[in-house]
Amino acid sequence: WLPAGLASGMLAAWGFLRVVRRHLSFEGQLRQAVRKNQFEVHYQPIVDLHTRRCVGAEALVRWRQSNGQLVRPDLFIPLAEESGLIQPLTDLVLERVCAELGPTLLANPTLYISINVAAIDLASSRFADELAHQMADVAFAPSQIAIEATERGFMHANTANEIIQKLRSAGHPVLIDDFGTGYSSLSYLQHFRVDTLKIDKAFIDTVGTEAASASVAPHIVEIGHSLGVKLVAEGVESEDQALWLSSRGVQYGQGWLFARAMPRDDFLAWLAGL
């Protein structure tokens, strides 16, 4: 028999411990997955909205668990960022891309693959050095590996800009990912020179609808034009959206209208069938 307060306190503590244990074990699994390289990279084509030809693809990581299940990145990337596992994961994705698409990139010198990096990858020269190291071993051009960084990644301002310019001078295109959803302090755009803005799906979703953000989409496109950068729209699902975008001068699109993210072999078959 326990006093009510103590009993409920113990219950709360027990519940808390269970949450911590589950968290630790998911993190433990992720750590092991990184050690054993239980990841796959899927590729989602990026097309020229005008010609509908494939210009590149985004590398999107998936975790293949021991039970065969595929885990989507939004379920483990945040944990990887918190637990210091994101840097080895970024490296694994880069290595995989070079290994499994090297010959394709060499045979198609204008095709590029873009890789997502985390804020911490831009906080020191570690990733840029790793990339330079990888590029020394491949025969395709640095321009064929593009780097996608979110606005959050840019907020480690001092180092990030230096690293971004280092990547660009090594020949890698740098993109601002999920443009419009982040801190959106437009002032940084004047400081950071980038090659491309990737307009977030949230804005594309509302194109042609009455939603409040629908009125924002044209402005985002305008900002891109006034900065003189290339624009890629992500999450293009309908022909109407594609037409709207290309009529506004958005050159590139990515989305289910064109293709979903696919394993390497499917991506190569898709490319060959174009």
Q: Which residues bind ligand C2E (CB under 6 A)?
A: 44, 60-61, 72-74, 77, 90, 93, 116-118, 177-178, 201, 234-237, 254-256, 261
Closer of 2 and 199 to ligand C2E (Cβ): 199
Report whether 119 contacts 80 (CB < 8 A).
no
Considering the rule CB under 5 A, would residue 116 count as an interface residue with Ca ion?
yes
The residues that bridge with 159 in the sheet, in sequence order, are none
Considering the rule CB under 5 A, would residue 151 count as an interface residue with Ca ion?
no
Considering the rule CB under 5 A, would residue 177 count as an interface residue with Ca ion?
yes
Nearest approach, Cβ of 254 to ligand C2E (angstroms)?
6
Considering the rule CB under 5 A, would residue 100 count as an interface residue with Ca ion?
no
Nearest approach, Cβ of 203 to ligand C2E (angstroms)?
12
Q: Within 13 Å, how many C-alpha atoms sit on residue 111's CB side? A: 21
d(CA 271, CA 173): 22
Closer of 87 and 254 to Ca ion (Cβ): 254
Closer of 8 and 184 to ligand C2E (Cβ): 184
Helix (H) or strand (E) holding 60: strand 54-64
Considering the rule CB under 5 A, would residue 91 count as an interface residue with Ca ion?
no
Token readout for 77 is 């990337």
- In one-letter notation, the amino acid at residue 106 is L
Nearest approach, Cβ of 2 to ligand C2E (angstroms)?
46
- For strands 112-117 and 145-150, give the pairing: parallel
Closer of 73 and 182 to ligand C2E (Cβ): 73
Considering the rule CB under 5 A, would residue 104 count as an interface residue with Ca ion?
no
d(CA 144, CA 106): 9
Q: Which residue is nearest to ligand C2E (CB)?
A: 255
Closer of 77 and 216 to ligand C2E (Cβ): 77
Residue-wise DSSP of 187-238: HHHHHS--SEEEE-HHHHHTTTS--GGGGTHHHHHHHHHHHT-EEEEE---S
Q: Where along the sequence are the contacts to Ca ion (CB under 5 A)?
A: 116, 148, 177-178, 200-201, 234
